[in-house]
Amino acid sequence: MANLLRALASYSRLQAWSGIVRLVRALDIFLDTRGYWAELRFWLGQIVNHDQATDDPTARLDVLISLAGVTSSQGDRVRAEELYQEVIRLAEQVGDKDRLGSAHYGLSTVYISQGRSDEARECLKQAFRLARQTENQTRESVIRYFLEATDLSSDAAEASPRILSVVDQIAGRLGNSGKEFTCALRGWGYLILNKYDRAHQCYLDALETCREKGDAQGTAFVLYQLGLIAELEDDLEMALEYYRQSESIARQLKDHTGLVLLCSSIGMVYLRQQRFDLALPYLEQSVMLARNSGDQEQLAENLYWLGYAVANTGDARQAEKIFEEGLAIFTQLGSREAQKVRGVLSRLRQRTGREYG
């Protein structure tokens, strides 16, 4: 790895952009899965910022798609959306339906992370249509999976068999090369059907493969899912163990998206255990990360639970300010959660100076 990075630095000194582009594209997946996000983002950015780096429109689109993905993973959703929109514009100009579909799919993940479900679903539909036109059957199956999984109007008991059937199709096409991916997809199918034992085993299988391949990002994700299952089964100590392992990797990766979920999840487990002093720093960080990501709904939700923790550690006035900020955001969003926060604020003001529970 050190030699490869030195090679890139040498290419850069020589302004040998063809070498930089060739090497970065070859290393893309390796750098991404093993957590070299800072290095990958730096070199992709170098290519994008030099108009003369490549005159190959396909190569430029691939670089932009990769840069959008790693930028989104590091929590910069606004910039990621801009990059995906640029890919869409350029791909439409040159008629590249394959990369146009990749951009719509990538943009859907940005919208999902921001709670923009309707926009995410429209992007998935566009990506599905383009996958069919380009006869990319694997991508078509993957997108069908996520369309089923994000169809909030479907009953989980009805949707899950369809989802698992799609996973079987994906597994047949990817074979062993995509084992960890299909195991994780199958695990999610069982999870939404509340079949926790089966989901747990699927994620354990995925975890083993991710670790064998050195896939840091995949390992962190699967550990989070295992923690979620443990929490759903009320095994809070095991949930914390999985979450902490995932958190350690996410911090190494500087995975802001993962850390928003993990800090919130760890804080919530401590709240359930009434260990408010331990919950507080995690919930404070979850608020900070959500604020930086621009996800207002997530920010308001995290503020609610931070206010709960602060109220229980004795600072009623500070808790009141936190609840008020969350209420303002929920009200602006037109969320039904605003009424819940108003009720908490009312009770808190009546009990000033007493423990809130």
pLDDT tens readout for residues 285-300: 999 988 876 677 788 8
Mean predicted lDDT score pLDDT of the chain: 86
Q: Give yes or no for a contact between 265 and 253, defined as CB atoms under 8 angstroms apart.
A: no
pLDDT of 190 reads: 83
Closest Cα partner for 150 from 186, 111, 184, 205?
111
So what's the pLDDT on residue 213? 86
Structure tokens at 183: 């195991």
For the ranges 20-29, 236-245, 248-257, 322-331, the maximum mean pLDDT occurs at 236-245
Instruction: Look at residue 125 and tell me whether its pLDDT is greater than 90.
Output: yes
| Residue 2 binned pLDDT confidence (cut-offs 50, 70, 90) | confident
The whole-number pLDDT of residue 175 equals 67
Name the percent of the chain in helix, strand, coil, to the closest 5: 85, 0, 15
At 215, give phi and psi (nearest 5°).
-85, 95
Q: Quick one: angle between helices 216-232 and 17-33, nearest 10?
A: 20
For position 152, what pLDDT does the model report?
Answer: 41
pLDDT, greater one: 162 or 42: 42
CA 90 – CA 51 distance, rounded (Å): 14
pLDDT range class, residue 356, cuts 50, 70, 90: very low
Say how many CA atoms lie within 13 Å of 249 toward its Cβ: 22
Q: Cα-flanking dihedrals φ and ψ of residue 254, to 5°? A: 55, 45
